[in-house]
Amino acid sequence: MSKLYFTYSAMNAGKSTLLLQASYNYAERGMRTLLYTAALDNRTKVGEISSRIGLKAEAFVFAADTDLFEHVANQYDRETGAKRPDCIFFDEAQFLSEEQVWQLCRVADELRIPVMCYGLRTDFQGRLFPGSRLLLAWADELREARTICWCGRKASMVVRIDHDGKIIDEGDQVVIGGEESYVSLCRKHWASKDLGDADRSDPQGDLPFDV
């Protein structure tokens, strides 16, 4: 039975790298994948999934009004199965709408194609993104991609910073940016707004991913 998967994390956990690697594994076995990314993501090039370690791939772009069920269904011949994709991948899945998450449920249930979504769980204020909220509720399997806070603990939150490296508390939920705009922190240091520095170490001596 095909499933809807959601891999979530804080910023800079390598979600796009994981996506591209998984798609490559399918291609290496002669299988076909479809890749999608959000039209909002213009950090490199619209319609391109790019990882921090240099991997990249072209992708379809979804906007708020894209019918994802129909778009996937139109990529192959449903009567003969010709060019039927073996897996669908979505980057920046936090930007999916409620309707679009349901459309992806239908892709898995009705078209019987696995759908793998990758995205952020929460924004800089600790609130769930709309797409992530529904994926957490409706996905068949949830996976966490982990990164670490400056203290060595698992980073589960993110803060937004300005050009001077100061934390921003208010603003729009969606502001596109990378390491120059966001820092991933553990819950403790997110709450205390403590960005640490290159020379600090956790006095508790916690190991990476200590929970």
Is 92 an active-site residue?
yes
- Cβ atoms 148, 158 nearer than 8 A: no
Partners of 122 in beta bridges: 128
**C-beta of residue 4 within 8 angstroms of C-beta of residue 108:** yes
Place of tokens 């793998």: 116
Amino acid in the structure at residue 91: D
Angle at which helix 130-138 crosses helix 98-109, to 10 degrees, equals 30
Catalytic residue among 92, 99, 144, 180: 92
Residue 122 DSSP one-character state: B
d(CA 181, CA 94): 17
Which residues are identified as catalytic?
Answer: 92
